[in-house]
A = this chain, B = another copy of it.
């Protein structure tokens, strides 16, 4: 009979109970040649190359357990890695997850986290093929994603040339607006403000636009994780060019505009410097005919740095140590 404590925790199950429980919630897709349960997994790399990216998320820094549920955290952790793979022009095939969790963590939260990983991977047809679990006072999540370029060259940050155009696919400023609403304690309820909060909890990267941009001939690409101005600055630096952004060209999303009005902020600030939406920013030669999912927001010229409204701007994004 359960009197004092009815919540089953990770400590109740033990390490191997937890591992088996997680593995049981993870179906394996067709590119997976060996899934969880051994020293390593094995994944197909059909064109003889593999693209790999890793990210580490730490509780209270990348997510708060009172602002996000386990499923949100799983989706977000997977999404930010899968977006890195897409930003190379590749199709994600799999992720592995290193998980540090407290013994007191409810198993239900871990189930939700696992479901979040599985669901976000399913969006792109990828599988969670393996992982590692250990004890930690705060929740720590290391995700590594693998991807397949399908014979194409990777789209790096260094191919932008003067005369090329800069375009963006996906949302900008949504996650930053949602975070600002949460930080201000605004009860977003449902409706347009809630959409911004949801965007903070679960980014919606436009994965399929990565390989599409590569096929269209993109000369440079990255995912916007620290803010567009800062991230496109990496393209400018790696390519040895200047990027001029035209703030007038940005479509400010309705949730971003509504949150800005609610909080008395400038929505464009979030659009230009807000991270975590994992939009894709790419550079294309001028003769490429872009589909409507790509919005032209600037151009590449000779020089260096990033210009907004004709003014050189600082990084204006996120530095984890400053």
Contact = CB atoms under 8 A, between A and B. Distances in A.
Interface stretch (A48-56, A254-262, A304-312): A48-56
A143 to B, nearest CB: 8
Interface string A109-150: 000000000000000000001111111111010101111010
A144 B52 contact: yes
Nearest to A133: B320
B56 A10 contact: no
A286 interface: no
Interface string A1-31: 0000000001101111010000000000000
B135 A321 contact: yes
A94 interface: yes
Contacts of A50: 42-43, 45, 50, 146
A42 B154 CA distance: 8
A22 B41 CA distance: 28
Contacts of A168: none
Interface stretch (A85-93, A179-187, A268-276): A85-93
Interface stretch (A98-106, A192-200, A240-248): A98-106
Given A40-B84, A45-B45, A130 B321 contact: no
A163 interface: no
A44 interface: yes
A322 B11 contact: yes
Contacts of A51: 40-42
Contacts of A214: none
Interface residues of A, number: 73
A40 B98 contact: no
Contacts of A10: 321
B140 A54 contact: no
Nearest to A103: B321
Contacts of A319: 14-16
A288 interface: no
A4 to B, nearest CB: 20
A96 B34 CA distance: 21
B40 A130 contact: no
Nearest to A58: B136
Contact of A42 (B88, B135, B223): B88
A221 B134 CA distance: 23
24 contacts: A11-B322, A16-B319, A33-B49, A38-B88, A38-B156, A38-B222, A39-B87, A39-B223, A40-B51, A40-B87, A40-B88, A41-B51, A42-B88, A45-B45, A45-B50, A46-B48, A52-B94, A52-B129, A54-B97, A55-B98, A56-B100, A56-B132, A58-B100, A103-B321
Given A14-B319, A54-B96, 16 more contacts: A10-B321, A13-B321, A15-B321, A15-B322, A37-B238, A38-B238, A42-B49, A42-B52, A45-B49, A45-B50, A54-B97, A54-B131, A54-B132, A56-B100, A56-B133, A134-B320
